[in-house]
Amino acid sequence: MKGQELKKRFEKAYDNWSEKIFGFVVYKVSDREKAIDITQETFVKTWDYLCAGNDIKNLKAFLYRTANNMVIDEYRKRGRRKETSLDNMREDGFQLQSDGDDVIRNNSEYSSVLRIVENLPPIYSEAVTLRLVEEMSIKDIADVLNEKATTVSVRVHRGTRMLKKMLKE
């Protein structure tokens, strides 16, 4: 890919996904400043990767995977699981999006839903978060998590089912 085409592709990706990546990261790390740093570093690493001549078939999935790996690195640095402040997230304008599921769509208490999602087992929580909050396709989630699409589909289905059950309780 030529330099100008590469630059345009990257700029378009930044315009389309920087806010979503930031929302994903701030949800994961619960620290606005750290999320800004991780988001910026995600795009810098992606740009460096592209400039090195590497091809990225699914740029959105690559960005999310890079951000997710950086979040994991941050957890390792902290040496503990994240502490989530949903009130801080709501103050920063973070809102849960729905995938059309009536139980979730009709629940106006986003923070309650987010708390419940956080209480799901981690393999389900991550898949459900990417699906409902980030509105990613199963294929994109599979690319981000480096899993098979069928595995992700099962996790989203089971996690959503657990979420519905918890919401009814």
Yes or no: domain 3-78 corresponds to CATH 3.30.750.210: no
Tokens 């699906």 correspond to what residue? 131
Q: With beta carbons less than 8 A apart as the criterion, state whether 141 and 127 touch.
A: yes
Q: With beta carbons less than 8 A apart as the criterion, state whether 128 and 156 touch.
A: yes
Q: With beta carbons less than 8 A apart as the criterion, state whether 163 and 116 touch.
A: yes
Report, as an integer, the average pLDDT of 146-165: 88
Which DSSP string do the residues of 147-168 spell out, in sequence order? --HHHHHHHHHHHHHHHHHHHH
Average per-residue pLDDT in the chain?
Answer: 79
Kindly give, in sequence order, each residue whose CB lies less than 8 Å from that of residue 78, ignoring residues fewer than 6 positions away. Answer: none
Express each pLDDT in 59-95 by its tens digit: 999 999 999 899 888 887 776 444 444 444 555 555 5
DSSP 3-state of 108: coil
pLDDT band for 28, please (50, 70, 90 cuts): confident
Give the CATH architecture of domain 95-168: Orthogonal Bundle (1.10)
Start-end ranges of CATH 1.10.10.10 in the chain?
95-168
Start-end ranges of CATH 1.10.1740.10 in the chain?
3-78
pTM for the model = 0.61
143: tokens are 């690319």
